[in-house]
Structure 1
Amino acid sequence: MQELSVIVYGQDVQGHLADCLDSVNGQLPEGAELVVAAVDDPAPTADVPGRVTVLALPRATSDEDARAAGGERASGAWLLFVHAKDRVPPGALRALQERIAALPDGADRVGRVDVVLADHVRSTWNTSGVPGPDARPLARAGGRDLALADCPDLLRVTPLLGNRALRAAFWQEHRDQLAATDEGFAARAALVLADRVTALQQVVLDERRLRPASLPPLTEEEHYATVGRYEDLQRLMADHGTPTGPRAVLYDVMATECMRIVARAAMPEPVGREFFRRASRAAVAWRPEGYRRPAGLEGIRRRLLEEDAYSRYRAFQSVNHKRRDLKSAVRERKRRVGAKVRAHRYQRELRRPVDPDLAVFSSYWDRGVSCNPAAIAAKLAELAPRIHQVWVVRSADVPLLPPGTDHVVPGSRRYWEVMARATYFVNNVNFPNGVVKRPEAVHVMTHHGTPLKRMGLDQMEYPAASKGLNFRQLLARVDKWDYSISSNSHSTRTWDRAYPTHCVPLEYGYPRNDVFYRATAADIRAVRERLGIAPGRRALLYAPTHRDYEASWTPRLDLAALAERLGDDTVLLVRGHYFYGAAASPLTDLRRSGRVIDVSTYDPVEDLCLAADALVTDYSSIMFDYAGLDRPIVIYADDWEMYAKTRGVYFDLIAEAPGPVARTQEELTETFTSGAWRDEASAKARAAFRRRFCEFDDGHAAERVVRRVFLGEHEASLPPVIPVDERTPAPSPEEAARR
């Protein structure tokens, strides 16, 4: 095993050092070390356990000198430099270590890999984990060991040291170019100087981008230094004998960034003119032989740059802005005219009679046939086939529809015709604001989960949850409801409070959960076979929820480590925004062996529940549905306090959980290896949870909805709700295998 040294360096910018250290030290692979080259205050590192070296550097130490000092003290064969303001996502170090372990030891200088280049995400003060632009060049490189000339576009990868690991011997050999230099220069210089580079399609860095307003403004010389760094890189390439391909890519990157700075940076006029002059001189001096300017407007900008025509460039920029504004105005006029035409057609259709046998269905903002609306539609086709069903589906999802599904695309001519004349409207979210509620129309809100998190008006106190939500418009949509479906009394009370409107609560259970009481042993065996779960293996469904304060899904578990600890007889069904990438993922071998199965896009989710022996989730409403199966549920609540504070919750899940609660990955692993996931205490907690939240789910919900809403039957004639203790859910996978 070639050991890895993670070097956290630099000043504790805006107090982020402690977060950075937590993110690293919590996942250090065996044999790896952490070197902290912290400027000013070593206090955040005082309690860091494990294999750690702490260098408390003087206040005046620059980032470059801190990085150099950290590199000198590192003992690993590979070095990863992480700035103190950034973070390392869970599982990243393990993936990096495994990629490094697969490389030759580097004793032979010829043809050795010196740099492992990986992906990264970005976070700001109000976003978290936003994907960067580097996935495409990394994918083109694949997992091969390449010379830079073989894939020069790697120079377009964001120039950070935190997204590339460097062989220690390589670092020492080129310390002058890599240690005491600007990070952007060092990052690209490493690619130029490396004998070979390999790409890793795995996020290994969460780069924190600080608010520009929180930083001191750039000086004149700092602006000019951008051009100087590119010229230094070009000189390095010339001295190193770098082929034309990489030099042309770097030239293109240089010209693009310089033009972007001229266009967007708020430089005083004299500074802007001097920056343009220096960029022009560099563009002429370093233009590769045979290089051709881009076509179109960018080509014109490049020509003006090479000619040092600053005044003409500013005039061209002004004309281009006016042209862009004019095009935008024309597009806006066309949009308004189109909207008026559609509105006129819609109003004309609204004057026609309502079709008593026309029903409109939609689910999850027009994403297809699923959830409660799909279960109601299936039962409606069985009990009242005379009623014609039309689904509203986005154009991108039309190819995924079941064969023969009548559908309309939002905004199309037929869409407005159907929306104007239908009698029944069924959705698990609201229909758009522009849909008119006719007196004869019947709107059924099915919802799509039991609320743990705050909903509706209850979100007003939680800005992270309600960002962009217009509560007046929300209430206008809510006022169109005639019926609101719930699966338990908790939901009924919550909907009544969060969505104050006059509608009839239907305490019938969730139609989508009917299958949990109707599926047979044969059905469960068939689902597991479709998913590729071998007979006799334990399947754990891992289904985390979304965090409103994060722009994309942040991985909270090291799935590779979890799968390894649980052994070959366990398979993980992972449902979420899959974060490990495609073929180059460190989980590739696990997926091939069937130990991890990506089910992020698999529908229906009810099939996954039927196939799973147990559920692992955090705060997702899937726990309330899965409880109906009376199978083990484990809560992984590593950030419960943050979630409860930012999203708002209706009850304390930790105190009223449906089973064991793990706060760390080690606790989660121990829950399964010790058998606590299905012991007597777990069964007792699940029974209480099931009685409370599966109150009306008994396998007849869809039938009750159809008979009451579509057939107009009286409440007393509907199938009564079977008490929880008298229900028999679908057999477990273990039971199904024996039948």
Structure 2
Amino acid sequence: MPPLLSIVLPVHGVERFLPQCLDSLRAEGAAPGEVELIAVDDRSPDNCGALLDAHAAGDPRMRVLHLAENRGLGGARATGLAEATGTYVWFVDSDDWLPEGSIDAVLAELRAESARELPADVLLTDFTHVYPDGGREPNPWRRVLAGSPLVSGCTAAEHPALFNAVLAVWNKVMRRDYLLGLDVRFGDGYYEDISVTYPLLLAADRLLYLDRPCYNYRRGRPGAITATASPKHADAFAQYDAIFAFLERNDRANALRTLVFDRTVKQALTVYDTPGLVPPELRAEFFARITGHFAKHRPAGYRYPSGVRGVQYRLAARGSRRAYAELRRGGKLPAAVKRGTRAVAPGVKKVVRSGARFTAYTTFKRLPIDENLAVYAAYWHRGYACNPAAIYAKARELAPQVRGVWVVETPERAATLPAGVPYVVVNTPAYLRAMATAKYFVNNVNFPYAMTKRTGSVHVQTQHGTPLKAMGMDLVDRPLAADGMDFERLREVVGRWDYLVSPNPHTSRHFARAFPGTYQILDTGYPRNDRLALATPEQCVDARRALGIADGQRTVLYAPTHRESRGGYLPLLDLPALAERLGSGWTVLVRTHYFHDGGAGDLTAGPGAATLLDVSDHPVVEDLYLAADALVTDYSSMMFDYAVLDRPIAVYAPDWEEYQEVRGVYFDLMKEPPGAVTTEQDALVEALLAGDPEPEARRRFRERFCPWDDGRAAERVVSRIFPVRG
């Protein structure tokens, strides 16, 4: 019986990313023979071929094909497809990886589809963008997929808005016979997959969407086509020709010809407009290719879009490159062009609705800076948290004339904000205006690179933890830990900082080297820890009760950090066994790192065991600190914050040698711990049962890392940044 799913993995020059990708292809719930992996070594110049062979030796699902000559991404995919035997095929890029449980989730959908009279031709999955600095962005186009007819199954004509979403191949699992019957091929060079994905979507009898992030797409890595200047960006036009050739021979697809044409023009202009993609000496030729695309493929009776986008299309169609540049630069046209293009001004007013966010942002930047507007964000727009939240609250008290507004990634995130906190949603007009005109910017990560710094604005970087592990430029010689970081871009971003908030002298010393720049370090302590320094017994009781912890329970917070070498969440503790040893008088709060999706997994414990409670999604980590009688961690910066409470901390570090080798560390945690140090689970249990076995170690740790935690850090930061009213 053939496998249900074939995963085709083209591989070339991705040695640093390949182990994480291969490790992510596990499928715990798959039946024997249900999944096959076909890896294509596209004559990789590095050690990828050997890595593939070594992995295949321990994974019977996997076959490795070594090509005698490099065929490019499209050719490698085609080679893998020719060898695939599965009912469905999934093309996974080898520099990306799958979140834990993704293959199992996809298999569950495919099993259900296989039993249908009309099984899905294509299963689209949700995905996550992952950036070199560790930042994550949910699928920006999820709103056009979730809650649409795609959830139960439909055709492209029944939900054409799906063409506003990403049209790459990697988040689409396709029925193999259907794909082969289309008689399409991956193109050569850049954008090679769109000559397949357009036909896939256009001709399908049934498209289905799985509203679960099943793919981590690596954005902004060095060498990626979206960040590389190259003449090969013009390869897109050959792929467009192949798409329109398919339309000519497929009536169902041809019915959406206008939609396809609009989408290809939009992509071509986006490539042209994005700085650093089309080499300067080739820009005139590229624009001429767009004009030629209009002449060759414009549908009969075509009507231009409304607003600025329609004006841009007209200029591209007639080859008016100079006028197009004027419009992009200032949101207006030269007078000579205006006389021949009516209704341009209303079009500029509709710039955001027409989708030209770059033009809108540029236009807003021509407005004066709002001296009393501050923009706040935390953890890549996830919500109200960390140091920015503490600074915001104190600024409302000490500098009430400065209006604060929070950036959130979705309206759903906005619902998690405290009552009365103003917000803007990413990429809305209100967001673009705030980002263009605010005087102050406060974040614990970096704001988007495209949002440039205006002269006179003030950027406050708070970071979000005391570093044990190496950071920033200290990772230059650690490729696995750097995970594709763009160090030149990091330097540029750090150049925007005016202030860096530091929690202790250790951090000030190391961050000054890891993030070289001209900013001022604020030796103030962390504002988010003021709550811990000032906590009352009553507040601790309230925190416990809010979490449902019964009175009298001894409560432990277990919080492991992220490990670059291990991919997703992988608990090193046997939590059910820990619960059994501790007994019913204990509660263990389990919090995974925010990089990991899906929570802590199965926390079922037997009768008489401690209660295991997954608190990974609890929005305020300080609540967990106040509720816990002790902390168990490994290398997380949470130990430095929790030490403010002067409560027992136990370090469980069975992989210390591996961690310091891969990541690099700023001090030897084994010699300078905050409390008990263990490498075996039994020893950890003994330390917890002992109550407070290492108070002297904690005292020394607090002296070194908590000298400024007096409950007034936020006040000191606000007084340095904002005009405080006396």
Asked if residue 297 in structure 1 is aligned to residue 308 in structure 2, the reply is yes
Asked if residue 217 in structure 1 is aligned to residue 228 in structure 2, the reply is no
1:85-96 paired onto structure 2 within 5 Å: 86-91=95-100, 94-96=101-103
Structure 1 pair 392/557, CA: closer, same or farther in 2 (3 Å)?
Answer: farther
CA distance in 2, matches of 1:372, 1:83: 36
- Alpha carbons 2:539, 2:626 under 8 Å: kept: no
- Alpha carbons 1:146, 1:198 under 8 Å: kept: yes
Which residue does the alignment assign to 1:232? 245
Structure 1 pair 140/7, CA: closer, same or farther in 2 (3 Å)?
Answer: same
Structure 1 pair 698/78, CA: closer, same or farther in 2 (3 Å)?
Answer: same
- Alpha carbons 2:129, 2:217 under 8 Å: kept: yes
CA distance in 2, matches of 1:185, 1:513: 56
CA distance in 2, matches of 1:535, 1:632: 21
Which residue does the alignment assign to 1:528? 547
CA distance in 1, matches of 2:616, 2:216: 23
2:617 to 586, 599, 608: 599
Structure 1 pair 587/650, CA: closer, same or farther in 2 (3 Å)?
Answer: closer
Higher helix proportion: 1
SS at match of 2:90: strand
Structure 1 pair 597/112, CA: closer, same or farther in 2 (3 Å)?
Answer: farther
Gaps of 5+ in 1: 344-361, 379-386, 406-410, 420-426, 437-444, 548-553, 709-739
1:151 to 140, 146, 159: 159
The root-mean-square deviation of aligned C-alpha atoms, in Å, is 6.5
1:513 to 532, 535, 546: 532
1:56-205 paired onto structure 2 within 5 Å: 56-59=66-69, 61=71, 63-84=73-94, 86-91=95-100, 94-107=101-114, 110-121=117-128, 133-141=140-148, 143-171=151-179, 174=181, 176-177=183-184, 182-201=192-211, 202-205=213-216
Counterpart of 1:59, as a letter, is E
CA distance in 1, matches of 2:267, 2:697: 57
Distance apart, 1:271 and its partner CA: 7.1
- Alpha carbons 2:559, 2:593 under 8 Å: kept: yes
Over the matched positions of the two proteins, sequence identity in percent amounts to 22
Which residue does the alignment assign to 1:736? none
CA distance in 1, matches of 2:330, 2:303: 26
- Alpha carbons 1:541, 1:572 under 8 Å: kept: yes
Name the structure, 1 or 2, with higher relative contact order (CA <8 Å, separation 6+): 1
Distance apart, 1:283 and its partner CA: 0.8
- Alpha carbons 2:562, 2:569 under 8 Å: kept: no
TM-score of the superposed pair, with normalisation by structure 2: 0.62
TM-score of the superposed pair, with normalisation by structure 1: 0.61
1:276 to 264, 283, 291: 291
2:666 to 650, 653, 661: 650
Counterpart of 1:607, as a letter, is D
Which residue does the alignment assign to 2:491? 467
Deviations 1:146-175 (A, max 9, x none): 333332222333232221122345445x27
SS at match of 2:532: helix
Distance apart, 1:45 and its partner CA: 1.6
Q: If you compute each CA radius of gyration, which structure gives the higher value, 1 or 2?
A: 1
Distance apart, 1:77 and its partner CA: 4.1
- Alpha carbons 2:331, 2:363 under 8 Å: kept: no
Structure 1 pair 170/87, CA: closer, same or farther in 2 (3 Å)?
Answer: same
- Alpha carbons 2:26, 2:103 under 8 Å: kept: no
1:621 to 629, 637, 658: 637
Which residue does the alignment assign to 1:556? 568
Counterpart of 1:176, as a letter, is D
Which residue does the alignment assign to 1:630? 648
Counterpart of 1:43, as a letter, is A
SS at match of 1:396: strand
Deviations 1:565-609 (A, max 9, x none): 9999976445636756xxxx998999xx99644536x23x32112
Deviations 1:416-469 (A, max 9, x none): 9xx9xxxxxxx999xx99899xxxxxxxx9998655367999999996897347
Distance apart, 1:539 and its partner CA: 7.2
Which residue does the alignment assign to 1:34? 37
CA distance in 1, matches of 2:5, 2:359: 56
Which residue does the alignment assign to 1:396? 406
CA distance in 2, matches of 1:262, 1:497: 37
Structure 1 pair 446/466, CA: closer, same or farther in 2 (3 Å)?
Answer: closer
CA distance in 1, matches of 2:377, 2:288: 56
CA distance in 2, matches of 1:496, 1:260: 37
Gaps of 5+ in 2: 334-347, 349-357, 408-413, 423-433, 446-453, 581-586, 605-610, 717-726
Distance apart, 1:252 and its partner CA: 2.1
CA distance in 2, matches of 1:588, 1:58: 46
CA distance in 2, matches of 1:140, 1:660: 50
SS at match of 1:694: helix
CA distance in 2, matches of 1:502, 1:587: 40
Structure 1 pair 112/655, CA: closer, same or farther in 2 (3 Å)?
Answer: farther
1:347-386 paired onto structure 2 within 5 Å: none
Asked if residue 6 in structure 1 is aligned to residue 7 in structure 2, the reply is yes
Q: Which is further off, 180-189 or 693-702?
A: 693-702
Structure 1 pair 557/491, CA: closer, same or farther in 2 (3 Å)?
Answer: closer
Distance apart, 1:185 and its partner CA: 1.6
SS at match of 1:139: coil
Which residue does the alignment assign to 2:340? none
Deviations 1:684-710 (A, max 9, x none): 99656523223499999758999x9xx
Counterpart of 1:300, as a letter, is V
SS at match of 1:557: coil
SS at match of 1:47: helix
CA distance in 2, matches of 1:472, 1:269: 33
- Alpha carbons 2:560, 2:633 under 8 Å: kept: yes
Which residue does the alignment assign to 1:317? 324
- Alpha carbons 1:36, 1:54 under 8 Å: kept: yes
Distance apart, 1:178 and its partner CA: 5.5
CA distance in 1, matches of 2:238, 2:462: 59
Which residue does the alignment assign to 1:721? none
Structure 1 pair 332/118, CA: closer, same or farther in 2 (3 Å)?
Answer: closer
Asked if residue 206 in structure 1 is aligned to residue 220 in structure 2, the reply is no
- Alpha carbons 1:659, 1:677 under 8 Å: kept: no
- Alpha carbons 2:554, 2:629 under 8 Å: kept: no
Structure 1 pair 511/693, CA: closer, same or farther in 2 (3 Å)?
Answer: farther
